[in-house]
Amino acid sequence: VLELISILTTERVAVPEEGKDKLVQLLGEISKHVTVQSDLLTTDTNSNITVKSVEPDNRIRVQLLPFGDGLKAELFVKPFREIPPYAKPGVGGKVLITNVNGEQWQVKRDFEKEIEFSNAVLNDIQLLESVDMSDDLIAFDDPMDSLHLLDVLASHKDKCVIEWPEGERFKIRSMAGFSDLKMRIKSKTNWFELEGELRVDEDTVISLQQLMSLMKKGHDRFIELKEGEFIALSQELKKRLEELYSFSTNEKSGLQLNKFASIAMGDLFDEVADLKSDKAWKNFRKRITSPTNLKVEIPNSLHADLRPYQEDGFRWMSRLAELEGGACLADDMGLGKTIQTLAVLLHRATEGAALVVCPVSVIGNWISEAQRFAPSLNVVMLGNSTREQTIKELSAGDVLVTSYGLLQSEEKLFIEKEFATIVLDEAHIIKNNATKTSKAIMQLQGKFRLALTGTPLQNHLGEIWNLFNFINPGLLGNLNHFTDTFIKPDNDYSRKLLRKLIKPFILRRTKSAVLDELPPKTEIVKKVQLSDTEMAFYEALRRQALINLESGEGNQGTKHLRALAEITKLRQASCNPLLVDPNIDIKSSKLAVFLEIVDELKENKHRALVFSQFVSHLSIVRNALDEKKIHYQYLDGSSPLPERERSVEKFLKGEGDLFLISLKAGGLGLNLTAADFVIHLDPWWNPAIEDQASDRAHRIGQKRPVTIYRLVAENTIEEKIIQLHNTKRNLAESLLEGSDQSAKKSLHELVDLIKKNG
């Protein structure tokens, strides 16, 4: 027999047709000693040979073996199911004959089914990001990544079997789905306490709080119960738990959920199969799930006709006020946030006194708008001598209008009073939680808190945390939780979760979306070519700036401030060399271009708002206009309120071809539709501030097309600032869309701005 085996396995043997039966019998005899692979089926016609035919096992055997620090996977089939041999799927002899305890067994392999099963498994394995499938090898460098493989294989239980020839390294004990989660909700003062459990199997139950802790240490969807033993969460359960983790805080006493976070998570609680809750929870859920188009009548005492989108805004705010939740009205500049707010103040007048906090520059605007559109409101301002008494005596129908500065200085008086409504106008002023103003604002007591701002997000996501810490304290957790959950991950998913959480409390409409009748706006970046002398001066400053920064000493904070100072100097040199050296005799190309534009505007009977971030730049422009006897109005941050109001009134009446305004002073509360051109003399880091200023002209009431010029010096740092605008132009919208780019520049990034090509 051994000689025959040697011949059959080493040489090609031709057997005539009449010898087929004898060969089959011979193969049956050989199979008593070794497994035979053949394309011939044996017969049982010979009484000396009894061959048992068995059904083939077409399932793929996936053998997991050590591979460096990771694992490799090899795919086989095992046609006899319990006993060898192994074969590659669809490869080898179609018929196998072997001896099992003295009995001859044969199996006819189903190559098509083996290949079908193999392809089904391989196709899903190929989709795993961490797999290396080069050179016919299926390998995972990180052994933890093999958990994904185990998960894929578990989904093909009917097509494959896992084998660990050298011992089992990992085990997925079970698959947990959303339906396996049980929850209990108890109401507390301003939050809800969540308890729950996930049943892994008959012997193991994990508490919801423990599950949250394990998730933080977990590997994607896999949670380690003990060394080498995991449970796999379904995609739905993982998503739901991530939301719950992001929207709640894990305290020693249990999971705590801000009551308004439950609005964003409503669909989760609606879908929990086993949910037990108390009466307070059910009542709150009933209130927030009642029809959102609750008909709130526009107050008859409002002396104005609201546009449809303004009516929607009024009802949206009124509904949140009814729930005692805060709101942020973030409409574009010029869409009438003030008139919508006055309607809310009238609607809530009987609830108690209201407080409006705003920049000094717009106090007069609030008073005049209230007198014009809501004369039944009693608008109050604080005098110098009776402030304490005035605040104490405030009652229903009273609206106290005050400035951020006065509120900060009289903090103790304000925090003792509970207001029915608190309104922060230009609320982005409190974006920095470390300022005294912000800290004072957070101490105020108010049932309904409303933030008004056209730029809820100017620079980075941290500003949103402080804004919401005012309107809905606790909704976004503490700052550390917010940073770890929404900022540090820096991915689309974390921003999507944040958007979902804040969406019910922030309303933003753009002018293009709601104002069909608003005239078109044209934006032009006008490049200014500096003279050779100017460029030589600029280049000398740039080179010296790099030397100063490279040789300077101090900590990172000091170096960062020094870099900003050098950048400011370069920005000033781009505008006019006189801003850097008052005694220098170099003429400004940008000033010359500006004066050319002014001459053309005057000739065509246009009027313009002119903005600069540098008050000193405006001073130089004023001198040039005086020489040309061009009439203008002027204001900056130091302009007293009465003088400011007089300048605005004069311009609206037609006095002055130009209105020169410092950028930050002009971004707040001005309505200057008498101008149809806007000129930005120098680009500012944040285009949102520029947009605010431009919207002084492009707003409700403007009948003519508006043109916006941005003067940018070529081959200077100004061009790089304009490039930055592309990533920051729609920061408020990008929060709502889920893609924020931080504006906080590192020292390295600041130095890069100074280097050549800008």
Q: Which residue has the higher pLDDT, 281 or 318?
A: 318
What are the helix (H) ranges across 451-531?
A: 462-471, 479-482, 492-502, 511-514
DSSP state of 158: T
Average pLDDT score over the chain: 81
Helix, coil or strand: residue 275 = strand
Whether 716 shows a pLDDT value over 80: the answer reads yes
- State the pairing for strand pair 70-77/95-100: unpaired
Helix, coil or strand: residue 460 = coil
- State the pairing for strand pair 70-77/171-176: unpaired
CA 330/CA 457 separation, integer angstroms: 10
Q: Which residue has the higher pLDDT, 388 or 670?
A: 388
Run of H or E residues at 233:
strand 229-233
Whether 472 shows a pLDDT value over 70: the answer reads yes
Residues 6+ apart with CB under 8 A from 374: 301, 302, 303, 342, 343, 345, 346
CA 365/CA 88 separation, integer angstroms: 83
What sign does the CA torsion over 329, 335, 338, 341 have?
negative
Mean pLDDT of 64-81: 85
Mean pLDDT of 502-522: 77
CA 755/CA 82 separation, integer angstroms: 71
Domains of the chain: 2-169 (no CATH), 174-288 (no CATH), 308-514 (3.40.50.10810), 521-754 (3.40.50.300)
Do 649 and 675 meet the contact criterion of CB atoms below 8 Å apart? no
User: How sure is the predictor about 374, in pLDDT bands with cuts at 50, 70 and 90?
Assistant: very high
At 487, give phi and psi (nearest 5°). Answer: -100, -50
Whether 7 shows a pLDDT value over 50: the answer reads no
pLDDT tens digits along 606-624: 888 899 989 999 999 999 9
CA 154/CA 177 separation, integer angstroms: 14
Per-residue model confidence (pLDDT) at position 318: 93
Do 463 and 435 meet the contact criterion of CB atoms below 8 Å apart? no
CA 664/CA 685 separation, integer angstroms: 12
At 126, give phi and psi (nearest 5°). Answer: -60, -25
Return the closest-CA partner of residue 25 out of 63, 55, 51, 54: 51
User: How sure is the predictor about 1, in pLDDT bands with cuts at 50, 70 and 90?
Assistant: very low
Whether 25 shows a pLDDT value over 80: the answer reads no
- Residue 75's Cα: distance from chain center in Å? 42
Per-residue model confidence (pLDDT) at position 345: 97
State what percent of residues in the chain have pLDDT above 90. Answer: 24
Q: How many residues does the chain have?
A: 758
Helix, coil or strand: residue 378 = strand
Per-residue model confidence (pLDDT) at position 731: 43
pTM for the predicted model, two decimal places: 0.65
Beta bridge partners of 507: 329
Mean pLDDT of 164-186: 82
Return the closest-CA partner of residue 727 out of 713, 745, 709: 745
Do 363 and 403 meet the contact criterion of CB atoms below 8 Å apart? yes
CA distances from 607 to 320, 391, 597, 675, 702 (A): 42, 44, 11, 5, 13
Per-residue model confidence (pLDDT) at position 572: 93
Max avg pLDDT among 280-294, 428-442, 672-686? 428-442
pLDDT tens digits along 521-565: 778 788 888 999 999 999 999 898 888 887 766 676 777 788 888
Per-residue model confidence (pLDDT) at position 623: 94
> Is-cis flag, bond preceding 85, omega within 30?
yes
Per-residue model confidence (pLDDT) at position 732: 43
Whether 10 shows a pLDDT value over 50: the answer reads no
Q: What is the DSSP secondary-structure string of 328-349?
A: EE-PPTTS-HHHHHHHHHHHTG
CA 425/CA 580 separation, integer angstroms: 36
DSSP state of 201: S
Mean pLDDT of 511-522: 69
Listed range (462-471, 489-498, 538-547) with the worst mean pLDDT: 489-498
CA 266/CA 275 separation, integer angstroms: 13
CA 449/CA 324 separation, integer angstroms: 8
Torsion, Cα 439 441 447 448, to 10 degrees, reads -120
Per-residue model confidence (pLDDT) at position 244: 84
Run of H or E residues at 269:
helix 266-271
How many other CB atoms are found less than 10 A from the CB of residue 20?
12
Whether 230 shows a pLDDT value over 70: the answer reads yes
Residues 6+ apart with CB under 8 A from 225: 173, 200, 204, 206, 231
> Is-cis flag, bond preceding 519, omega within 30?
no
Do 672 and 654 meet the contact criterion of CB atoms below 8 Å apart? no
Do 605 and 588 meet the contact criterion of CB atoms below 8 Å apart? no
DSSP state of 723: H
Mean pLDDT of 439-456: 90
Whether 257 shows a pLDDT value over 90: the answer reads no
- State the pairing for strand pair 706-713/632-635: unpaired
